[in-house]
Amino acid sequence: MSRRRDLLLQLADGQARSGEALAAELGVTRAAVWKQVQQLDDWGLEVVAVPGLGYRLKSPLDLLAEQELRAQLGSVVADRLRHLELHDEIDSTNDRLLAAIDLPCGRFDACLAEFQRAGRGRRGRAWIAPFASGLCLSVNWRFPEMPPQLASLSLVAGVAARRALGRVGVEDVALKWPNDLLRGGGKLGGILCELRAESAGPAYIVIGIGLNVCLPVGAAEAIGVSGLPPADLAGHAVGKTGFRAELAGALLNQLVLALMEFEHAGLAPFREEWSAVDALRGQPVSLHHAEGIRSGTAEGIDEDGALIFEAAGVRERVVSGEVSLRFGVDS
């Protein structure tokens, strides 16, 4: 365990600790404690120096622990888990699993990180999440052959994530085609599905899910500049130790069960549930693509998960990956 992690375990409850006490607990000098405190800024954490008392985190942290996370897994999912990785810091959980090899069909790996240096969303957008402020989680899966509706997998993952949120008491979550979770008009999370090319036969997919749990004000403002204002789960998580492990376990359970069902039945078992919480249906939207911007109305999804876009009385299918979709009509 790194010294920085050791320091965070001492400060995670948000209470002040003196430099002398921290140095004694960690077996280092007070100067080394000060240096580690300064480095916490790299993870987006704000440490307050309290005169006469020492250091404290501006906001308490609910840190993930592997044992707690494994305890949340149902037996069916636990039996299919090959590797579980939990990192303090990583470039990208998706990239980590894209590099994995020899995954048997029907098994999965899970990779979680408290902080990603190069986390990304759809179309390469940066994913902003200070240390332990959300969930950054990826799973991999190998299908025996390329599923005919593979492009709809982000919709299936959205349904699974929404089910998981319901398991921990989070309601009123809507889904925005093709890969966003919304709550209260803000973006709660996003999904990134990536396929590793195979010469023939099996299809290897990695699904990344990012959810905002307790976003600091500065991070929320930075996210809002680039698109929808963010939403988080602070109302459910603040003061509840273990909430993030409970949510991460629910996500793994629901996502793996959904992958098993999708492998045999495709989008059909999920389509009605997705459509019932479609945030865009009947709403004016703008399609942003290489040829320019087009305005129209979103009219739900078809049996393959493509968006039905209507403009000037003409309906067409829009496939995920072709365009960027935004609420409202651009002038």
Mean pLDDT of 37-50: 87
Say what angle helices 243-265 and 153-167 make with each other, to 10 degrees. 140
> Are the C-beta atoms of 175 and 154 separated by less than 8 Å?
no
Handedness of CA 3, 239, 233, 157 (dihedral sign): positive
The residues of the chain that CATH labels 3.30.930.10 are 66-276
Which residues 6+ apart lie within 8 Å of 290 measured at CB?
Answer: none
Q: Which fold has domain 3-57?
A: Arc Repressor Mutant, subunit A (1.10.10)
| 138's tokens | 């990826």
Mean pLDDT of 188-206: 87
* Model pLDDT, residue 16: 92
Mean pLDDT of 271-291: 90
The residues of the chain that CATH labels 2.30.30.100 are 284-327
- pLDDT tens per residue across span 92-147: 999 999 999 899 999 999 999 999 987 665 555 666 788 999 999 999 999 998 89
| 304's tokens | 């393959």
Catalytic (active-site) positions: 122, 187, 326
Alpha helices by DSSP H, listed for 147-215, are 153-167
> Are the C-beta atoms of 114 and 88 separated by less than 8 Å?
yes
pLDDT of 74 above 70: yes
Matching residue, tokens 């976003």:
215
Which residues 6+ apart lie within 8 Å of 69 measured at CB?
Answer: 84, 86, 112, 245, 248, 249
- Domain 284-327, CATH 2.40.170.20 — does that match? no
Mean pLDDT of 182-197: 91
> Are the C-beta atoms of 84 and 93 separated by less than 8 Å?
no
What's the order of all strands across the beta sheet hosting 108-116?
81-90, 108-116, 134-143, 203-212, 186-196, 180-183, 173-176
pTM of the predicted protein model? 0.90
**Please, which residues bridge with residue 307 across strands?**
301, 318
Mean per-residue pLDDT over the chain, rounded: 89
- Domain 66-276, CATH 3.30.930.10 — does that match? yes
311: phi then psi, degrees, rounded to nearest 5: -145, 130
* Model pLDDT, residue 1: 47
| 329's tokens | 């009509």
Choose between 66 and 202: higher pLDDT: 66
Query: Cβ atoms within 10 A of the Cβ of 168, count?
Result: 18
The residues of the chain that CATH labels 1.10.10.10 are 3-57
